[in-house]
Amino acid sequence: MDTRMFARLGAVVFVAVAITTAAIEMTRKEEEPVPPATVRPGGAGPDPLREELHRCALLGEAGGRDPGCLTAWARNRARFLAPTPGTSSSQEAH
């Protein structure tokens, strides 16, 4: 067999695999993603800040003009960006 025959055979196999893959992908049904279950620690009550942040997320672009959302975002930033107890500037210098 010569190289032209191998090249043609390779091209035919490649096209057959591509068509088969496309047919399988088109017939496959897309599954709906399962939303993660919200689990709260036992005995913990609802977190009003988290609920407000969730409400603001649902507002989308309008959340940037909502005073309640602006306050909630500021409280959230303060909660996560506040220095931890025991951290001082002298410890950071070392």
Q: Kindly report, residue by residue over 32-85, the tens digit of the pLDDT.
A: 777 776 655 555 567 888 899 999 999 888 888 999 999 999 999 898 888 777
User: Within a domain: residue 7?
Assistant: no
Total number of domains in the chain: 1
d(CA 56, CA 60): 7
Identify the band that residue 31 occupies on the pLDDT scale cut at 50, 70 and 90.
Answer: confident
Q: Cα dihedral sign for 71, 46, 80, 59? A: negative
Residue indicated by tokens 């951290």: 87
User: Domain for residue 42, yes or no?
Assistant: no
pLDDT at residue number 45 = 64
Instruction: Give me the half-sphere count of Cα atoms (radius 13 Å) on the Cβ side of residue 3.
Output: 0
Residue 89 predicted with pLDDT over 60: no
The Cα 57–Cα 64 span in angstroms is 10
Task: Examine the pLDDT at 24 and tell me if it is beyond 70.
Answer: yes
Euclidean distance between CA atoms 59 and 54, whole angstroms: 9
- 69 within some domain: yes
Tell whether 43 is covered by a domain: no
> What is the span of the domain harbouring residue 75?
48-82
Residue 93: pLDDT above 60? Answer: no
Is residue 12 domain-resident? no
